[in-house]
Chains A and B, each alone.
Chain A
Amino acid sequence: MPAPPPDRDPPPGDDTDLERLLALVARGDQDAFETLYDRLSGPAYGLVRKVLRDPAQSEEVTQEVMLEVWRAAARFDPARGSATTWALTIAHRRAVDRVRSETAATGREQRSAPFPFPVDDVAETVEANIDAEQVRRCLDGLTELQREAITLAYYGGYSYPQVAKKLEVALGTVKTRIRDGLMRLGNCLGMSR
């Protein structure tokens, strides 16, 4: 019989615990889902709200996201990233879909994001989260164009052609700046291996 796991908090960023929960959720375990909710709903809600800005819509979309996590738990594939990444990818995509369909429906391009996107905005939400400070520092280490392209795309929900238009640079430039910027950010955060 395998020894029970040691009774301590996993180090931050360690997702083995979440993956175990997700495996239980995939079998319909509602208690495991409650624990999973406690762990993932804050990041999911924060992200959705960052993109959508409107609290009521953000709540609605977060509910959809958490239900999708429940529904699709059996489809989580650890080869493609951690459990947190999987859940937050669902959250981001839903938020972006909502923003884009809304923008298309109302035909309005000005969705309120002031430009240039204030980078200060990034860190203010959760002072307590130590990651936030590190992310902010690493964002500051990018070139201005890399940083603006990444924050507009990820936090603003803009497609890269929209980002190109806003920043008044060529499409190809935006593509490469986002890519280079993300790699540099990953290095700075100690994520590349």
Chain B
Amino acid sequence: MRLFSRRVHELSGAYALDALDQAERERFERHLRRCPGCAEDVRQMTSTATALALAVAAEPPPGLKQRVLAAAATTPQLPPLPSAAAGRRRGRHVTRSAWFPRLALGVAAAGVAAAVALAVVTVSTQDRLNTVQSQNQALAAVLAAPDAQIATGRSSTGGSATVVLSYAEQKMIFTSSGLPQLPNAKVYELWLLSTGSAVPAGLLPEAADGKTAPVLASGLTSADKVGVTVEPAGGTSAPTTTPILVMTLPD
């Protein structure tokens, strides 16, 4: 046991430089949680690595900033991670049940969005659950809006999309089902379209069981169509391919 820990301990430098493969990285992280001394070592070595990074800082390309800011404006954020310590103290997982009844209530109130609920319950990883939780209130607001409307459309490459929108909330919820899986370096990007303009409205998350979790897009004021294109991972500021789906939004 002692020999094992010492050997693992020697990996702290390689860990700080991301020089472990996935399996070893995970093993080391498990070790870290039980070894405060190692955590302190890693903390110091990681800040040393930061100095190595700062030494090679370079001017980023000029267009990048606007693209990042535009994408951020439509990218939902993750809630804080329930800390491992807090989870242990309470002896259970913290978030799993909290969001579900509230979401169900929102869906029932709107009475239009079976497709959305279906997409929501099929997401499985903790990250997705957390994302869904953080979107929950905003989703419920759209679903429950008195003017909520639903529209569906088919993709030219197979699969379909469902949109719930509220002009009062100026928001739209987009889900898809059965879109072909993309290679790693590609992503489906959502656009709000109006005459002569395409505003990025977020990236579709990876599908679970063929369905993508709801994407919430704001700023629905002038758009009259919604479109989806295939773009490089991370998305782009303007569509670079022909849309695989264009839906006219109800008035």
Q: Which residues of A approach B to under 8 Å, CB–CB?
A: 26, 28, 30, 33-34, 37-38, 41-47, 49-50, 55, 59-64, 66-67, 70-75, 77, 80-82, 84-85, 88-89, 91-93, 96, 101, 122-123, 125-126, 129, 131-132, 134-136, 150, 153-155, 157-161, 163, 172, 174-176, 178-183, 185-186, 189, 191-192
Contact = CB atoms under 8 A, between A and B. Distances in A.
Interface of B: 10-14, 16-21, 39, 43-61, 64-65, 67-69, 71-73, 75-81, 83, 184, 232-235
A182 B60 contact: no
A178 B234 contact: no
Given A75-B81, A182-B17, A60 B232 contact: yes
Contacts, number: 212
A186 B72 CA distance: 35
Contact of A81 (B11, B43, B76, B184): B43
A71 B80 CA distance: 10
Contacts of B20: 159-160
Given A42-B58, A63-B64, 15 more contacts: A28-B77, A37-B65, A42-B60, A60-B234, A74-B78, A74-B81, A85-B49, A88-B50, A89-B49, A92-B49, A159-B19, A161-B21, A182-B17, A183-B44, A191-B48
A130 B71 CA distance: 33
Given A63-B71, A131-B54, A73 B77 contact: yes
Contacts of A101: 184
The 9 closest A-B pairs by CB, nearest first: A179-B13, A46-B58, A178-B13, A45-B60, A135-B55, A153-B19, A46-B57, A186-B48, A132-B55
Nearest to A161: B21
Contacts of A50: 56
B36 to A, nearest CB: 11
Contacts of A129: 54-55, 57
Contacts of B71: 63, 67
Given A63-B64, A182-B16, A71 B48 contact: no
B225 to A, nearest CB: 25
Q: Which of A30, A42, A101 gathers the greatest number of chain B CB atoms within 10 Å?
A: A42
B47 A186 contact: yes
Nearest to A122: B55
B69 A30 contact: yes
Contacts of B55: 122-123, 125-126, 129, 131-132, 135-136
16 contacts: A26-B80, A28-B77, A37-B69, A42-B59, A42-B60, A46-B58, A66-B64, A84-B50, A88-B50, A92-B49, A123-B55, A125-B58, A132-B54, A134-B51, A135-B55, A153-B17
A85 B46 CA distance: 7
A89 B59 CA distance: 19
A101 B45 CA distance: 25
A88 B53 contact: yes
B10 A67 contact: no
Nearest to B81: A75
B96 to A, nearest CB: 18
Nearest to B52: A154
Contact of B68 (A26, A47, A63): A63
Q: Which of B10, B20, B51, B81 gathers the greatest number of chain A CB atoms within 10 Å?
A: B51
Nearest to A178: B13
A191 B51 CA distance: 9
